[in-house]
Structure 1
Amino acid sequence: MTARRVLIWRHGRTEWNAAGRIQGQTDVPLDEIGVQQAIQAAPLLAAEGPDAIVSSDLQRAKRTADALAAVTGLPVSVDARLRETGFGPWQGLSHTELAERWPDEYAVWKRGETPELPGIERPADVIARMREALTDALGAVEGTLVVVCHGGAARRAVQALTGWSDEVAAQLAALGNCRWSELRHSTTRGWRLHAHNVGPLSGAAANDEPSTAADAEPAAEEELTSSPRS
């Protein structure tokens, strides 16, 4: 068996998302808006006809996956390899705090590169574990697989399937909370991106504020200057 279609779904909003804090692998729960985002988005994903759901073990992803499971009746498989990029000493800090405490390293990160700091996971390592997790999940189902994970991990999942370079992947906009990417497999061209940042157009799940548009990714200038709204 092998799935021919993958929907990579980012979890709903958390308080740290709203505050612009780096989550990484800290196990932060969904906030009230995040729960509503998952509940609202779940029927739309259910309409895509998923055959299996696999989720990161972090509770913000698992709670999002559970919303889809409640609609579809499908079980949720949990895989720690789908966790967000580890950000070590940066986890829990805002972008302003990072710029103040690690100005040189933060400047490196803003350029889209990985700073040399203990505890910060390198992209190649994230891609490797995402590839392993996806290979196992894809081999266990036919049809459509839903992968529930995180903002930075979702980008690496797309890379793992398509083989894109870091330079190409950097051009892919970060997923908003509770939005997803769709990839389909071609026997001649392999995995191809068919849709990106898909989600409801109204209600809680349509709340795609700049502050919630990235997880463990460099913030764009407008993300640093805008105030979170809810």
Structure 2
Amino acid sequence: MTLSQHLSGRRSIAIVRHGETDWNLARRIQGRTEVPLNATGREQARTAARLLAAGPGWSGLSSSPMLRAIETAEILSGALGLGDPYIDHALWERDFGPAEGLLVAEAERRWPGLDIPGAETLDALAERAAAGLLRTLEEAPGTVVVAHGALIRSGLTRIGGAPLPRILNCEVWILSRDGGSAPRLARLEPAAV
């Protein structure tokens, strides 16, 4: 079954994590720090565009206001012919407070579970992310959403009810719904297109 056949008749959105940055490569917490894509990240975005091009025909594009997400969205837009992305402030990455700029391992040693004083709580992030993604699904089906790993993972976990693994750079998830049914999640695999 092709991706288009799988999504036929369903309200759906595609959710893409931004491409790799040098801080991702170093396992450094970015949060709301502006870090541009590196060459690998730009290639990852082109690969994600090829996966999405095999889909049902996407009609819109929204992005976090962060530079790395906007750069990814612009690459997707150019490949898919979607125009400028709508900047959605509900898609901001988690505010990691004093952990921003630290290596993940160092932050985990200082704050087990990444329960960081002064940072956005994981519960607040999950609530914000789930609300934003479900709003897009209902109000703008056919949209490709470009956001961040912590936001995507927490939002989709809240929506789906089961924890997800770490979201990789330019990994594509499909959130869909038939009529009034519960939302469904699927990771887009290259073999599915």
TM-score, normalised by the number of residues in structure 1: 0.70
- Taking the aligned partners of 1:174 and 1:116, their CA distance within structure 2 comes to 19
Alignment of 1:79 with 2:88, yes or no, is: yes
Instruction: Give the 5 Å matches for 1:132-147.
Output: 132-142=131-141, 144-147=142-145
Aligned to 2:45: 38
- Taking the aligned partners of 1:150 and 1:91, their CA distance within structure 2 comes to 14
Question: In the superposition, relative to structure 1, how do residues 54 and 99 fare at CA in structure 2: closer, same or farther (>3 Å)?
Answer: closer
For structure 2, the 5+ residue unaligned runs are 1-9
Aligned to 1:152: 150
Aligned-residue CA RMSD (Å): 2.2
Instruction: Give the 5 Å matches for 1:103-114.
Output: 105=111, 108-109=112-113, 114=114
Structure 1 residue 146: deviation in Å? 1.4
Structure 1 residue 132: deviation in Å? 3.7
Structure 1 residue 19: deviation in Å? 0.5
- Taking the aligned partners of 1:99 and 1:192, their CA distance within structure 2 comes to 32
Aligned to 1:59: 67
Structure 1 residue 115: deviation in Å? 1.6
- Taking the aligned partners of 2:66 and 2:78, their CA distance within structure 1 comes to 18
For structure 1, the 5+ residue unaligned runs are 202-230
Question: In the superposition, relative to structure 1, how do residues 137 and 96 fare at CA in structure 2: closer, same or farther (>3 Å)?
Answer: closer
- Taking the aligned partners of 2:135 and 2:101, their CA distance within structure 1 comes to 31
SS of 2:143 mapped into structure 1: strand
- Taking the aligned partners of 1:131 and 1:116, their CA distance within structure 2 comes to 21
- Taking the aligned partners of 2:86 and 2:189, their CA distance within structure 1 comes to 23
Q: Is the 8 A contact 1:85 1:121 kept in 2?
A: yes
TM-score, normalised by the number of residues in structure 2: 0.83
Report the identity percentage. 35
Q: Number of paired residues?
A: 180
Instruction: Give the 5 Å matches for 1:1-230.
Output: 4-48=11-55, 49-75=57-83, 76-98=85-107, 102=110, 105=111, 108-109=112-113, 114-118=114-118, 120-142=119-141, 144-162=142-160, 164=161, 168-169=162-163, 172-187=164-179, 189-193=181-185, 195-196=186-187, 198=188
* Cα deviation 1:57-90 (Å, max 9, x = unaligned): 1011111111111022213111121011111111
- Taking the aligned partners of 1:23 and 1:52, their CA distance within structure 2 comes to 27
- Taking the aligned partners of 2:152 and 2:108, their CA distance within structure 1 comes to 25
- Taking the aligned partners of 1:117 and 1:12, their CA distance within structure 2 comes to 28
Structure 1 outlier segments of 4+, above 6 Å:
none
